[in-house]
């Protein structure tokens, strides 16, 4: 029994396969692409195994159909993941077309879709583990919102977008509306009044 326990606790040197399994951690990628008369873009959320989100909104400076925008979103997310040295990727898209073409259920008939499918297949083969599933739009709300944000033109402002959480109503923060200037100073300095 002691020999069995010693072998179980110390099974010997790791093999190449066991090393790969230990170091392959799966990241998640949620993507959505959108195209309209206002422009085209994508929203991406890349989530590491610890749950940390890397959030992107991409504005496309070229014209694409809505299905092409969905592929552009996927391909952009895959490229970002590879730049971050991700080896295992689980992708969630709300596009039935993209998911089914990549899984071989749907055939890509249009020449543009064939090119996108070929490129996506080449890129997904660069991962040790890659899967793609279709999720409902409600499961992909964040990526959808980011893709719609990307349709706006930001050429006249800085590319940084600051998000601030407002904890309470303005009417609850200022008892006396005559102190509006004090309120604005307090908010910009971060003080509560």
Q: Is 190 left (phi over 0), alpha (psi -120 to 50) or beta?
A: left
Identify each DSSP E strand in 16-151 by its residue range.
Answer: 26-36, 39-47, 53-60, 88-93, 129-134
For residue range 82-99, list pLDDT tens digits in order. Answer: 999 999 999 999 889 999
pTM value > 0.75: no
* Co-location of 37 and 115 in the same domain: yes
What is the spatial distance between Cα 148 and Cα 141, in angstroms, rounded to a whole number?
Answer: 11
* Co-location of 128 and 46 in the same domain: yes
* Co-location of 105 and 179 in the same domain: no
Answer whether 43's CB lies under 8 Å from 57's CB. Answer: yes
For the chain, the domain total comes to 2
* Co-location of 144 and 179 in the same domain: no
In a domain, 154, yes or no: no
For residue range 96-110, list pLDDT tens digits in order. Answer: 999 999 999 999 999
Domain range enclosing 168 = 163-193
What is the spatial distance between Cα 52 and Cα 54, in angstroms, rounded to a whole number?
Answer: 7
Query: How does strand 39-47 pair with strand 129-134?
Result: unpaired
In a domain, 83, yes or no: yes
């Amino acid at each position: 029994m002691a020999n069995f326990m010693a072998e179980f606790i110390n099974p010997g040197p790791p093999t190449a396969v066991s090393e790969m399994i230990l170091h392959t951690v799966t990241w998640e990628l949620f993507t959505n692409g959108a195209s309209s008369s206002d422009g085209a873009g994508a929203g991406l959320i890349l989530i590491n195994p610890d749950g940390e989100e890397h959030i992107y909104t991409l504005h496309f400076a070229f014209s694409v159909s809505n299905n092409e925008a969905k592929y552009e979103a996927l391909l952009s997310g895959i490229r970002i993941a590879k730049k971050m040295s991700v080896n295992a990727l689980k992708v969630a898209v709300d596009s039935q077309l993209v998911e089914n073409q990549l899984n071989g259920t749907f055939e890509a008939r249009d020449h543009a879709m064939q090119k996108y499918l070929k490129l996506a297949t080449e890129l997904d083969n660069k991962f040790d583990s890659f899967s793609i599933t279709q999720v409902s739009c409600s499961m992909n709300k964040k990526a959808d919102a980011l893709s719609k944000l990307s349709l706006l033109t930001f050429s006249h402002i800085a590319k940084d977008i600051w998000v601030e959480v407002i904890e309470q109503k303005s009417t609850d923060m200022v008892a006396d509306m005559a102190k509006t200037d004090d309120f604005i100073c307090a908010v910009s300095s971060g003080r509560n009044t």
